[in-house]
Structure 1
């Protein structure tokens, strides 16, 4: 194994990475798969909702402290998971809660529009304020 090279020294690319992980998606904690030994599936939706809220609140505080690079909260929502009756209400509550922060804090965008915006900004060599 070799250490990862400094990302600043890597060749530039038009590829835009939109970060996401298992803590920002619905399927891992809320979907049960009988063929997977560590499948959860029966986690209380309020636990997942609180975890998502905690992450979003932290992000808002970081932006308020001047971390302008901390501007995205990506989520992966699977229709076969969040479409279940016991989950869809939680997703709706969470989205309404996010909207309560107001339009100056929250903007919903598709991954495609985010990637295109970042790609254009990168071509100009300008960081968003």
Structure 2
């Protein structure tokens, strides 16, 4: 869910930035007005820079959400793989113990031979 939200935020910021640049490509440095999606921003180049910084921060927020979600998924996958490996090892240990017990039952100790413990 976090990854999807991050993708939506990042795409929205990227689309707004791309449309703004494409629609105002005739101006090298707009001094009077700037428009995106029909919304005109009037003011100085400082205001234009401020809008760019805000859009860049929003894009970075989206990217950080994507990376946080991917890191979380990776960590959960690693934990699942570790648990699966432990489960397989436990099953193998049980099978080995069962085989040893079956082998001990099939071989009867000779009379007078002390019973030895198997570690």
Q: TM-score if structure 1 supplies the norm length?
A: 0.25
| TM-score, normalising length: structure 2 | 0.27
Q: Which structure has more helix as a fraction of its residues?
A: 2
Higher relative contact order (CA 8 A, sep 6+): 2
